[in-house]
Amino acid sequence: MNIQRQAFVLSVAVTTPVVRMSLIVFLAVAIEQNASARQKYDPAKVEYIDNGTIRLGVSLDLGGAITYIAKSRSGKNIINNYDWGRQIQMSFFAGPAPYTENGQKPKKHWEHIGWNPIQAGDDYGNGSKVVEFKKKDNVLYVKCIPMQWPLNNVPGECTYECWIELKGNTAQVRARLNNARSDKTKYQGKHQELPAVYTNGEYYRLMTYRGDKPFTGDKVQRIPKKTSGGFPWDYWLATENWAALVNDKDWGLGIYKPDSCLFIGGFAGNEGMGGTNDSPTGYIAPLHTEILDHNIIYDYRYTLILGSLKEIRSYAVQQGKDAKTTDWRFEKDRQHWRYHTADKKGTDAGWPIQGFVQLDLSKPGMTAISPPTFWKAKDAPVVHIEAAFKTTQKKSIVAWTRYNGENHQPKHTAADRVLFDINGDGRFRTYAINLASTAGYQGALSYLMFKPILNPEKDAWVKVKRIWLDNESSNKARSTTGRQSSR
């Protein structure tokens, strides 16, 4: 990562999320097979719900991870269960790396993974413990204590909860992390799999939409399997917020996550071959880069769609075509924003978020970065920032990333930014910044970045309540720059 103070050229390298099984099988960093790949969960401990269209099962041996999805009458499971790092499951990442506990260290090839409790179990074949389970009709609830993936039989200092309801050919899922770590260190945000989805080898065609004309019926794209070796997965910006793994007949499993544009996925192994316990697998995960405080409660939702490619995309388009994704209100959470500093330790005042996020501006390079999203410059020429600055400095910067289907990272040049005046008296104001005043603000865009002050300053801070883009006229934007909020 690099911030050049004068030109304020920001290029943020996105941390690669750790995909557990791939690093052993495909990077050849370890000869031995995962111990969990030699285990089999007890089919008698799989609990099913079935609405006549979909049959879905969760394993109470594996923390309630989803181990089975099929048509109600076909009985052909789509989900891959080769090891405990597959399934459809919750997985979170945080520091430190390597993560050790009670003197136990991860194997060399897992040192980079850090803190990583996952829903199903660990690399040694120990399943996560279910502590509560409920089922009624087409709805189920499960709560577990997840296991640290790279360690042997080490439970995470947290619990995971999942609520699953079947509706038509979809499974509506709500998931929650309840963190209770004894380590109160503030670690920088990492990519989170929300969730991790693994399918069998038959469903090898990874399909999505990552173009600059979302919700218009533009052609879907296939992301081909990597053939160059090494890391098997690709990143992309899914501008309709969905992806699917389908078979040769364009039928399979899709995932829609309404607030996620950044996805990772691919296929590993022999295409078109293998069942639920075999190694070949397709992978998808919607991603957000999140700070996971020691005491955070983190909720997210997603939808699984079983059907044809046309049905999967139609569902996502219908749900997302009118969604507004460029209005971030920091009332109860970070709204998926993260922070970059020169020392790569960008955090805020911590959890819980109570009406605003607060940033320490003594840290060199402190910059807030939006989650990846998608908007057109002509539809949103103005950005508003409701914030209170405590500083002697008079200028702040807003910058943006031009959408590029081949590049998912937030970055900009000196031409893609606007400086605006601020008042450093510590009072909340709404600043309206005319982005259209610069020639660089045009076309399709994917990230917004906010650098509160140009240089680090001792004891300086900013509190941010809300950031939003809209189509307020340029004249009005100029007249309201620095306007004091009525609140």
What CATH number corresponds to the domain at position 78?
A: 2.70.98
Note whether 186 and 282 are same-domain residues. Answer: yes
Span 319-331, pLDDT tens digits: 988 877 799 999 9
Closest by CA to 396, choosing from 437, 368, 376, 355, is 368
pLDDT of residue 135: 97
Structure tokens at 308: 């044809």
Q: How far apart are CA 146 and CA 131, in angstroms?
A: 10
Note whether 249 and 163 are same-domain residues. Answer: yes
Domain total for the chain? Answer: 2
Q: How far apart are CA 220 and CA 118, in angstroms?
A: 32
Higher per-residue confidence, 241 vs 5: 241
Span 19-75, pLDDT tens digits: 444 333 333 333 345 666 567 788 999 999 999 999 999 999 999 999 999 999 887
Q: Indicate the burial class of 157 (C-beta count within 10 angstroms; 0-12, 13-18, 19 or more).
A: middle
Closest by CA to 285, choosing from 373, 197, 409, is 197
Q: How far apart are CA 432 and CA 435, in angstroms?
A: 9
Note whether 359 and 302 are same-domain residues. Answer: no
Note whether 146 and 176 are same-domain residues. Answer: yes
Residue 26 lies in a domain: no
Percent residues over pLDDT 70 in the chain: 89
Q: How far apart are CA 417 and CA 440, in angstroms?
A: 8
Q: How far apart are CA 257 and CA 479, in angstroms?
A: 38
Residue 20 lies in a domain: no
Note whether 269 and 153 are same-domain residues. Answer: yes
Structure tokens at 228: 């160059």
Q: Name the pLDDT band for 202 (thresholds 50, 70, 90).
A: very high
Residue where a domain stops, chosen among 285, 320, 355: 320
Residue 1 has pLDDT above 60, yes or no: no
Average pLDDT over residues 175-179: 98
Residue 303 has pLDDT above 70, yes or no: yes
Q: What's the start-to-end Cα distance of the chain, in Å? A: 37
Residue 24 lies in a domain: no
Note whether 186 and 201 are same-domain residues. Answer: yes
Closest by CA to 411, choosing from 13, 83, 6, is 13
Query: Could you tell me the CA-to-CA distances from 132 to 47, 85, 337, 441, 478 in Å, in that order?
Result: 13, 22, 32, 51, 56
Note whether 214 and 274 are same-domain residues. Answer: yes
Span 383-441, pLDDT tens digits: 999 999 999 999 999 999 999 877 788 888 888 999 999 999 999 999 999 999 999 99
Strands (E) across 212-334 are located at 221-223, 234-237, 242-246, 251-256, 262-268, 281-290, 297-308, 327-329
Task: Write phi, then psi, for 241 (nearest 5 degrees).
Answer: 65, 35
Note whether 245 and 353 are same-domain residues. Answer: no
Note whether 362 and 420 are same-domain residues. Answer: yes
Q: How far apart are CA 390 and CA 164, in angstroms?
A: 45
Note whether 352 and 272 are same-domain residues. Answer: no
Structure tokens at 371: 């989650």
pLDDT of residue 473: 52
Helices within 211-351 (DSSP H only)? 309-320
Residue 393 lies in a domain: yes
Q: How far apart are CA 175 and CA 161, in angstroms?
A: 6
Find all residues with CB under 8 Å of 382, minimum gap 6, and list them: 432, 433, 434, 435, 436, 469, 470, 471, 472, 473, 474, 476, 477
pLDDT of residue 166: 98
Note whether 66 and 128 are same-domain residues. Answer: yes
Residue 387 lies in a domain: yes
pTM of the model: 0.90
Closest by CA to 61, choosing from 36, 49, 82, 43, is 43
Task: Write phi, then psi, for 272 (nearest 5 degrees).
Answer: 80, 5
Task: Name the residue range of residue 174's domain.
Answer: 33-320
Question: Can you tell me which residue has the tokens 């970045």?
Answer: 449
Span 127-174, pLDDT tens digits: 999 999 999 999 999 999 999 999 999 999 999 999 999 999 999 999
Q: How far apart are CA 145 and CA 476, in angstroms?
A: 53
Note whether 311 and 169 are same-domain residues. Answer: yes
Helices within 229-360 (DSSP H only)? 309-320
DSSP-derived letter for residue 110 is G
Q: How far apart are CA 389 and CA 154, in angstroms?
A: 44
Helix (H) or strand (E) holding 475: helix 474-480
Residue 52 lies in a domain: yes
Closest by CA to 401, choosing from 368, 367, 373, is 373
3-state secondary structure string across 119-181: CCECCCCCECEEEEEEEECCEEEEEEECEECCCCCCECCEEEEEEEEEECCEEEEEEEEEECC
The three-state secondary structure class of 378 is helix
pLDDT of residue 323: 78
| CATH of residue 474 | 2.60.120.260
Whole-number average pLDDT of the chain: 89
* 13-27, 188-202, 285-299: segment of lowest average pLDDT: 13-27
Question: DSSP secondary structure string, 6-65?
Answer: TTTEEEPPPPPPP-HHHHHHTT-S-SSPPGGGG----GGGEEEEE-SSEEEEEETTTTT-
